[in-house]
Amino acid sequence: MSEREAWSAAHGARPSRGRKPASSWRSALASLAKVTPARFTLAVFTGMIALFTVLLSLPASTTSGQRTEFVDALFTAVSAICVTGLVTVETGTHWSTFGLTVIMIAMKVGGLGMMTLASLLSLSVMHRLGLAQRVMTATETRAERLAEVGGVLRIILVTSTAFEVMTFVALAPYMVVTEHDVGESLFLGLFYAISAFNNAGFVPEAQGVEQYLGDPFFSIPVALAVFVGSLGFPVILVVVKKLRTPRRWSLHAKLTLTTTALLLGAAWLGYLVMEWANPATLGDDPIPTKLLASGFAAVMPRSGGFATIDVASMTAESRLLTDLLMFIGGGSGSTSGGIRVTTFALLMLSIWAEIRGNPDVEVFGRRIPHETIRQAIGVLVMSATVVFVSVFALLRMTSFTLDQSMFEVLSAFGTVGLSTGITSVLPTEAKWVIIACMYIGRLGPMTLGAALALRHRTLMIQLPYERPIVG
């Protein structure tokens, strides 16, 4: 028996049946994806960050032709892959066309979701999806049956690209009208389309998006792209398939759309009231501008990150509202971050059921399993812990206020990208804290914990019940 055959036999590889045996790296990668899909996804996620960090470190990526500092290149790569939008260097002036293209590709890859990317890579390596990988991908994409995962992945690619193309078609001609040349307009339209739908929040123009305050031709397409991207592919697929029969929509879709609509309406009204008379933001603007700018601002904490209103000039009440919205985030399986709107909805429903004395949590004619409520509580507690530790670290490392530090951490953890303006002046050690927040926020505390878990314990003996006093 040859060394290759002995290695294949030891790792459980099947005979090639006339074909050339797979190379050792391909077999090892396939074995890793089959045995530990969560860790495989974590490895792919980290590998993509490393790749884009190297690309952004090249002299060709900057307008000056100089190499970017490692921590800044890494920060930008993590921010792009995690579709966050926080930056330590000015995107529109620091990066060359090549650098902006690298960021654009990173946003597209990050927006598809690392579990989806890992599954596609697994398909290319093994030419099929293993059962474990199908289970993990079904969790990410919310496929109703494991057999649907391959089709769902294709639909995700087609759907996301279609929405990006529609946003591009809406923005590119307008860029020409606003005195950009044709080539620049096409590039800006494509960049904004990918950044908006993937909820990345990167802005390729040095003037930022404040120049488009109250501009419906920019604000509406971008806000719609952010909103749709934040709903999540499970919701988009259900709505597209059963557009005319909303009663047949899944519970997840109904819960996501209802909660999102309520949060969006409350945020729109909140920003409108709290910024109406603020001279630093909307105080001197006409009513149509106030309405449009408030609506645009209400969509962005979903994870969009674009800001036509200067965040640092907003009232303290508006920033506190933004903190809450960023922590909640968008829909599950979407390009947004946070604890997700379904988690928030389940927690609120659980509290309401407890107040009413109901033994079960019920919504839309369905009963929610207790395991799902426990999972929502776990996500909340782990997320709050990450935010608390990160804010504490930032306060120790910098002289910024609690308001500024919490806003920055929540923006990073929720992969939002809004900032009060302190990102570029953070010390190096504080940048590492924000990088960790973006990384954990994109993967999700529960996903990261599952990926790092060494083993799963099955208890053979259950202890007797005893009820402690609560409250």
What are the backbone dihedrals phi and psi of residue 368, each rounded to the nearest 5 degrees, phi first? -85, 130
Q: What is the mean pLDDT of residues 109-138?
A: 57
Average pLDDT over residues 221-239: 88
Q: Read off the pLDDT band of 138 (50, 70, 90).
A: low
Give pTM, 2 decimals: 0.84
Rg for the chain, CA atoms, rounded? 23
Find out whether 294 and 286 touch, Cβ atoms under 8 Å: no
How far apart are alpha carbons 313 and 323 in whole angstroms? 15
Which tokens is 436 given? 């960790």
pLDDT above 70: residue 149: no
Residue 20 has pLDDT above 50, yes or no: no
Which tens digits make up the pLDDT trace of 307-339? 999 999 999 999 999 999 999 998 887 778 888
CA distance 410 to 372: 24
Domain boundaries along the sequence of the chain: 22-449
Residue 67 has pLDDT above 80, yes or no: yes
